[in-house]
Chain A
Amino acid sequence: MNQPCKPILRVQDLHVYYPVETGTMFHRQTTMLKALNGVSFEMAPGESLGIVGESGCGKSTLARAILGLQQPTRGRVLWQCEPLHEMSADTLREKRKELQIIFQDPVASLNPRMKIGEIIAEPLRNFYPRMEKVQIEERVKGMMQMVGLLPNLLNRYPHEFSGGQCQRVGIARALILNPKLVVCDEPVSSLDVSIQAQIVNLLKDLQKKLSLSLIFIAHDLSVVKSISERVMVMYLGRVMELAPREEIYTQPRHPYTSDLMRAVPIPDPEVERNKMDILTYGDTPSPMDPPSGCSFRTRCPWARDRCAADVPILRRLGGEGRVACHYADEIDLQER
């Protein structure tokens, strides 16, 4: 990729393993759950990246590792060319201003005993303890306006707000420190459809206005379509495909991406009626015991011997996008 600017974030061969106790009472064993199994990508400043995958694919672990909340087992995260996990606690704390997160459950991520104004002001109080009260209030009100909340709601409590409004508070809290990268971990999954679109549009506007780098995590491809310039599809701790949205939505190259596309129901009865083909996806194997070689091979109709032997690496196929499949250039995904 010939980006003129150097990447703001570089994730290199990231592995995160969690020890899990298994076995019976007298034969305790510790197995490693491989939540991330060699993930690499980079992001340009001001870019928006969508990360999509089903439960257990490692997308939330990746978010935590990028924010420095999770120590990697191997590999590293370079934030503006500096390895995030080797920083001293003080430096890391400084960097936290630049790295913010928006959570999935907007109501649960707000302290019910704090007023909206206090919630949004808290990061400022933490990082700038000497900031004047008046100045804080001014910043908070400005931020509330920016996320579409009336500043006179300052003294309300979260329970007085709807889910969509709570998510706006979460966004305001994340943006008040002027971060450079915001990770949104399924920010709209628990919201109604009509409100989802509001929040996505808001994030999209703010990203442009503030030239933020934005990571938008979701479990289905339809939600990230509008906001992500590039989309990364993950499965069992690995990246299956990483491509600009123009490519991934018109011509998915990985069998798993194609499955994810087909699985999304289309709100058009005619289209759905014609989707009568028998399609089985198979169950996702346990991340404690992932298949050898390509982790998707147990669910892939095109899997051959080589898929069990070698782990496919992300490679370029003509376009800008990259795909981790040995046979991506041979198979016809429409054939299924």
Chain B
Amino acid sequence: MPKPRTMAKPGKILLEVEQLEVLFKTRDGVVRAVNKLDFSMVSGETLAIVGESGSGKSQTALAIMKLLAANGKARGSAKFYGRNLLEMTATEINEVRGEHIAMIFQDPTSSLNPYMTIEEQMLEILVRHRQMSRKDARLRALEMLTQVDIPDPERRIRQYPHEYSGGMQQRVLIAMGLLCQPELLIADEPTTALDVTVQDQIKRLMRELKEKSNTSILLITHDLGVVAGLADKVLVMYAGQLVECAPVDEIFYRPRHPYTAALLKAVPRLDHVGDYDMHPIPGNPPNLLNLPTGCPFRTRCAEAFDACHEMPVVREVTPGHSLRCHLDGGALK
């Protein structure tokens, strides 16, 4: 039976990103990885940022967490409960990280310290952020491991990361991320490095946590299948810019931007019986050092026309659905 859509609870604004820019100084010039990005999240909401490599989705997340590489610089603002994360000092941001915003990464193996047992790595967080005694921290850690379905946590907690499979490592990272019950969990491609059946389990686990704990999730991914199963709202990025942002059903059933529509068509579909065709997007991904004038997608866009030589502005086409395109997209399929 179809379940009723869980609407994002009308919460207060948790994260508000305005005019976010991420610039990298490279030998070949300044690369603008994220370009004047605006978005916001209310508490309890899951926002998926979707895009291909070089779209700026990961750099957005890293900028919010103040984790940019040394040659990178973020401008604009990212307000978390009204406080601009980008202007925080190292001490201040360290208080926010782990305690209020947690982050999990694509490759679970390289995110865990190979020389420390899972127990040491988990307890460290609670002792530091929650000033818990080791005994209490251990109980809380075991409780979290149980929640993410680690079998036999009493024994497992004493093991080292290499004794875990990739899927279990990712579960441990999710458990670690949620130890302090953060308001926001940033998950950067959490399923990409895993086998399909393991991916599915991590996806189910995240959905369960989302429903149980009311944690907001900022999901960064290129996998539209994962987005369909987890997100409330979707932001599509291309060449560092927002091209479309709307509730999940709008994006999947009524995409307005030619790029969104083309991306949806490009995904091979197991559920389309007898359809053996693939629908690529022509051309190459954009080179951020050498973007076309105007709309960066125009060179690959089937709908492009003269006006596309000028950059379209982001506008709201219907309430809650914003679009950066000269066409209104109503007719696009």
Contact = CB atoms under 8 A, between A and B. Distances in A.
B88 interface: no
A55 B195 contact: yes
B262 A194 contact: yes
A54 interface: yes
A201 interface: yes
A163 interface: yes
Interface stretch (B12-20, B74-82, B263-271, B317-325): B263-271
A305 interface: no
B203 interface: yes
A200 interface: yes
A169 interface: no
Given A273-B3, A279-B204, A265 B280 contact: no
A249 B53 CA distance: 30
A111 interface: no
B196 A272 contact: no
Interface in B246-275: 248-249, 252-253, 262-264, 266-271, 273-274
Contacts of B204: 278-279
B271 A265 contact: no
A152 interface: no
Contacts of A316: none
Contact of A197 (B167, B198, B273, B279): B279
Interface residues of B, number: 52
Contact of B196 (A198, A245, A264): A264
Contacts of B276: 225-226, 245
B156 to A, nearest CB: 12
Contacts of A55: 166, 195
Interface string B175-215: 00000000000000000000111111101100000000000
A5 interface: no
A25 B281 CA distance: 55
A195 B196 contact: no
A165 B284 contact: yes
B27 to A, nearest CB: 12
B64 interface: no
Contacts of B168: 283
A192 B285 contact: yes
B229 A265 contact: yes
Contacts of A267: 224-225, 227-228, 252, 264, 267, 269
B200 A225 contact: no
Contacts of B70: none
Given A54-B197, A279-B200, A281-B201, A266 B273 contact: no
Contacts of B53: 163, 192
Interface residues of A, number: 50
Contacts of A126: none
Contacts of A24: none
Contact of B223 (A260, A265, A273): A265
B235 to A, nearest CB: 15
Contacts of B138: none
Contacts of B298: none
B126 interface: no
Nearest to A228: B276
Interface stretch (A10-18, A75-83, A137-145, A215-223): A215-223
B5 interface: yes
Contacts of A268: 228, 252, 271
B268 A197 contact: yes
B321 to A, nearest CB: 15
B199 A195 contact: no
A266 B270 contact: yes
Contacts of A201: 278, 280
A223 B2 CA distance: 28
B226 interface: yes
Contacts of B227: 267
A165 B168 CA distance: 35
Contacts of A263: 196-197, 199-200
Contacts of B279: 197
A162 interface: yes
A274 B223 CA distance: 19
A315 interface: no
Contact of A162 (B5, B166, B268, B284): B284
A193 B3 contact: no
A284 B196 CA distance: 12
A261 interface: yes
B306 interface: no
B293 interface: no
A300 to B, nearest CB: 13
A266 B266 CA distance: 13
A271 interface: yes
Nearest to B279: A197
A21 to B, nearest CB: 15
Interface in A148-197: 162-165, 192-197
A276 B203 CA distance: 11
Interface string B223-241: 1111111000000000000
A42 interface: no
A281 B200 CA distance: 9
A155 B44 CA distance: 53
Interface string B279-291: 1111011010000
B3 A194 contact: no
A51 B1 CA distance: 35
Identify the 10 closest CB pairs spanning chains A and B, nearest first. Answer: A265-B225, A197-B280, A194-B281, A272-B229, A267-B224, A54-B195, A192-B52, A197-B278, A198-B280, A263-B200
Given A194-B52, A197-B279, A269-B253, 19 more contacts: A164-B285, A194-B285, A195-B281, A196-B280, A197-B266, A197-B278, A197-B281, A222-B267, A223-B268, A225-B276, A226-B277, A263-B196, A264-B196, A267-B225, A267-B264, A268-B228, A280-B201, A283-B167, A283-B168
